Structure 1
Amino acid sequence: MTVTESKILADRIEDLLPQTQCTKCGYPHCRAYAEAIAQGEASYNQCPPGGAEGIERLATLLGKPVIPLNLDNGVERARPVAFIDENLCIGCTLCMQACPVDAIVGAPKQMHTMVAELCTGCDLCVPPCPVDCIEMIPVTGDKTGWDAWSQQQADAARARHDGHRTRLAAEREAAEARAAAKRAAAASANAPAPAARVAGPAPTEPAVPAVEAVGTAAAPATDAEAKKRAVIQAALERARAKKAENAAQGLGPRNTTDISAATQAQIDEAEARRRRLGIANDSSESTPKQDVDQPKKS
């Protein structure tokens, strides 16, 4: 199969996937899974949201027999929607960063809300939550797989995911440009000044000490940053207290197992940003990585 043929086949396979972007297939998104199937690197029975009908669709396209869903990837189920408990949410934004279709609305230190009409039921927002305030609630009754998910919903989720990836790429490029500008400015500031020509004494005004000038300009920014960190730290302290209270009642976190590698990478990236900001972290806020030898649960 040529590269062109593989791409065309991947396009046709992707059209048959439910576009929940849940990563349960073992790939970071539906497009990557479609390409893996087209290249013979993955089986066509690894998509729980598509279920038995999804496997049948892919088998027909590929000219292969219908086979059971691989239970290592999950089970076919009613489609759930994420519900965020407003009383527990601390506005950490980790769920927003994990959502592949931008279905969560909120801001740092503000309560977040799930837009139910946009939620694909992917579960990716659940593991990152440090206060265990997200619950997946089935909303389709006995309907599962494609019976619980329409082609219109799949097309809309695909468009939102494409927009999500485009936005993240633009943000990365902007961040890299800002970092490059800062490095250039620092290099320019640290470069030795050209030697002054000797032309006799000239009247000069008393120089303002450089450290004093910089300190005066930086003071407001430093105060604002310190206040921001204090507010975030206070929110995390409240979260710790709530988690300790739940643990004392035997209600410890439920969302700390079966985390995919893609989701764990998102969590690690967010935690790294928090460390760069100087926000304290301890074991009570971290989400343990999934043991590679531990069998996956649905």
Structure 2
Amino acid sequence: MQGNGLSLRPPGIQASIPRCLASCLQTIPLPSPDPHRIDRIDQLLPQTQCTQCGYPRCREYATAIAAGEADINQCPPGADITIGALAKFTGKPPKPLNPENGVVEPKVLAVIDEPACIGCKLCIKACPVDCIVGAEKRMHTVIERECTGCKLCVPVCPTDCISLVPAPAPDSAEPPSRWPAFSLDQTRKARRMVEQKLAREAEEEDRKQAKRIDHRRRIMKREIELALARKRSERKKKLDQQKTARNR
């Protein structure tokens, strides 16, 4: 209530109301992006899974764009083609590639110097699309057709036996994609392979977690059994001492 231009509300309460509203607004969760919209944006990315956009996979970058958390010019492999497609889809104006995310380069192919390979499997773990095959302590090799040129295998190799060479052009008999360096089948398969790898890794982690839980339960059960055994031993010892004292 106010009168003669004076507020009857205590100053402390009056000042706390805007802060309270701001705090409440910060705690309200934002709606999740529409999965269909994320799918559409993901289809406009070349699926190299190279992480240059600042996200671990193309799908995460698409999710960030859909949520308004990432700009449309963060994909060097897609370059102007991707930027133009994203601009048209999102309604944002086209803009140059952000140099902080890299520069436009020709597509490359990873090649392993097989005699120098020690079979450490680090490149297999790093490859987002499972295009490197080989067993532990055995020679590894790259499936040329499935390599996206992400370069993620190079820095993890302890023997520097992985080099990058210009990638061959896609087979002209295959349906083309919007990117000249990739066929439509290559982009689709890359998306499918990364999804399969993520699902497999999640299953492996679930199995490891189940083993860890089972191991902890076994340890806890053993500790309980030992504690009960100690208590029984102490009780028996005490009863024996009492019995001995009575017999004296």
Per the normalisation by structure 1, the TM-score is 0.61
The aligned counterpart of 1:213 is none
Superposed, 1:26-175 pairs within 5 Å as 26-140=54-168, 146-175=179-208
The aligned counterpart of 2:21 is none
The one-character-per-residue Cα deviations of 1:72-123 (angstroms, maximum 9, x if unpaired) are 2122222111100112211111111111111111121111111111111100
* Residues 1:15 and 2:48 are matched in the alignment: no
Q: Which runs of 5+ in 2 are unaligned?
A: 1-29, 170-177, 237-248
Q: Percent identity?
A: 47
Instruction: Decide whether aligned partners of structure 1 residues 37 and 175 sit closer, same or farther in structure 2, where only a CA change above 3 A counts.
Output: same
- 2:32–2:67 Cα contact (<8 Å) kept: no
Separation in 2 of the partners of 1:132 and 1:166? 30
1:6, distance to aligned residue in structure 2 (A): 4.0
Candidates 21, 31, 39, aligned match of 1:3? 31
Candidates 178, 186, 189, aligned match of 2:219? 186
3-state SS in 1 of match to 2:48: coil
Superposed, 1:222-233 pairs within 5 Å as none
Separation in 2 of the partners of 1:40 and 1:23? 18
1:4, distance to aligned residue in structure 2 (A): 5.9
Per the normalisation by structure 2, the TM-score is 0.73
The aligned counterpart of 2:26 is none
Q: Which runs of 5+ in 1 are unaligned?
A: 199-298
The one-character-per-residue Cα deviations of 1:6-51 (angstroms, maximum 9, x if unpaired) are 4332221111111111101000101110111112211101111112
Separation in 1 of the partners of 2:71 and 2:116? 40
- Greater RCO (CA < 8 Å, at least 6 residues apart): 1
3-state SS in 2 of match to 1:25: coil
3-state SS in 1 of match to 2:116: coil
- 2:33–2:63 Cα contact (<8 Å) kept: no
Separation in 1 of the partners of 2:33 and 2:140? 44
Equivalent residue letter for 2:157: C
1:181, distance to aligned residue in structure 2 (A): 1.2
